[in-house]
Structure 1
Amino acid sequence: MNSLPSSADVIAAHDAALASAPVSAEANDVTGWIAVNHFHNRSLWAQEDLARRTQAPDADIVANKRAIDRHNQARNDAIERIDEFLLSALGLVDPATIGTALPVSTVAPGARLNSETAGSMLDRISILGLKIAAMREQTQRTDVDDAHRQACGERLQRLVQQRADLGACYDELLADARAGRAYFKVYRQFKMYNDPRLNPALVAERK
């Protein structure tokens, strides 16, 4: 993938990662952060499944919930880093402010602000990749009837279409941003519940 990866690049990387065991990724460029985001989405998916067990000890479910928090924070951090790299490549952010809480946009007059960032779109594409893989497994089960497999096959087709549609929207946003017609910003998530200084329950615990 280059500094401005296409949706086809990203989807191929996501699907290739899902074909093997999950491996924690390292990141120093946009490709790496896309892989990090996908890894944490994949880990979240597994923990969400485990957290819904009804016969597991409470301590196991607590551990799942805490893992979900960690992976969700890391997933959101990766989205912000993806946006930073893409905006830098597009020349749409002041380099001196890129790592600050409020990065300053540098945009052409008349460019429209896209409400969703490119990083958020890639995050949604990652999640759709997980849904597609999981739904495809349902179509291949031998312990269910034909009706189940058929229903899941129809859902699979819709999920594939949804990912293609979102990918096309992502590509269009990058094309418009390159041409000066559109831009997006780095939006800091400021997840307060994970910050012991900001979560009132955690502040109360310390007192």
Structure 2
Amino acid sequence: MKSPLPPVSEITALQIETVERWHREPIANPYDDGFKQLVCKQHEFNYRLWHEEDTARSPSAGDTEIANVKRAIDGFNQARNDMIEKLDDAITAMIDQPNTDAPINTETPGSAIDRLSIMSLRLYHYREQADRDGIDAEQKQKVLDRIALCEQQHADLSKSLQELIDDVFAGRKQHRTYRQMKMYNDPTLNPAIYNAGK
């Protein structure tokens, strides 16, 4: 079966383009439905998470602000992981006759898409640093070297993901959704929450 998913090149282009646009305009998902809508929603949570983590590390952030940011980070991280599962569930729903004898990959397509999302954010912010005023030549070269490494890793991961998707739909690899089962946000499983009222 030929993959019904958009090519990985379109997925990464979506991530790169929206990171740039969301730094200029309000966050909005340009897709109403389909797999790209899920990719963009998952990417949005990474975008929000990235910027909350920047705030948490600011030396000027007070205790109250850090506590609020930490709660926001937990929420965005939970939503990000939920969306990884939704990406993988969507792929599962597209597979007509899964080959249950095929080998299983150590990483799901949803997890790889998440990693590419984070890489697009990293590349944007490294390029921002390379262009900022006041950076000396040594620091700029360090940033440019990291950009080159990130670009290579992004290309490698993109190629690997496309091969995995092709293998899944051709029946050469088995696809499963792996549940994240995060405990820290569950009031019935996190002792710091369920013991708080005692």
TM-score normalised over the length of structure 1: 0.87
Counterparts of 1:138 and 1:115 in 2: how far apart (Å)?
A: 34
Give the drift of 1:204. 0.3
Contact between 1:3 and 1:86, CA under 8 Å: does it hold in 2?
Answer: no
Contact between 1:27 and 1:36, CA under 8 Å: does it hold in 2?
Answer: no
2:27 is the alignment partner of 1:23: yes
Partner of 2:47: 42
Could you tell me which amino acid in structure 1 is paired with residue 126 of structure 2?
Answer: M
Give the alignment of 1:17-166 within 5 angstroms: 17-21=18-22, 22-25=26-29, 28-91=33-96, 107-108=98-99, 110-166=101-157
Which 4+ stretches in 1 moved above 3 angstroms?
24-28
Partner of 1:202: 193
Which shifted more, 7-16 or 22-31? 22-31
* Fraction of identical pairs, as percent: 38
Counterparts of 1:184 and 1:198 in 2: how far apart (Å)?
A: 29
Could you tell me which amino acid in structure 2 is paired with residue 7 of structure 1?
Answer: V
Q: Deviations over 1:61-100 (max 9, x none)?
A: 11111110010011001100000111211236xxxxxxxx
TM-score normalised over the length of structure 2: 0.91
Contact between 2:101 and 2:174, CA under 8 Å: does it hold in 1?
Answer: no
Give the drift of 1:119. 0.1
Counterparts of 1:81 and 1:121 in 2: how far apart (Å)?
A: 13
Partner of 1:99: none
* Matched residue SS, 1:115: coil
Counterparts of 2:75 and 2:85 in 1: how far apart (Å)?
A: 16
| Unpaired runs of at least 5, structure 1 | 93-106
Counterparts of 1:175 and 1:163 in 2: how far apart (Å)?
A: 18
Partner of 1:9: 10
Which shifted more, 124-133 or 182-191? 182-191
- RMSD over aligned CA atoms reads 1.7
- Choose between structure 1 and 2 for higher RCO, CA contacts under 8 A separated by at least 6 residues: 2
Counterparts of 2:43 and 2:91 in 1: how far apart (Å)?
A: 17
Contact between 1:141 and 1:149, CA under 8 Å: does it hold in 2?
Answer: no
Partner of 1:104: none
Counterparts of 1:156 and 1:30 in 2: how far apart (Å)?
A: 29
CA 1:162–1:182 in 2, change beyond 3 Å: closer, same or farther? same
Give the drift of 1:28. 4.0
Counterparts of 2:177 and 2:197 in 1: how far apart (Å)?
A: 32
Contact between 1:139 and 1:152, CA under 8 Å: does it hold in 2?
Answer: yes
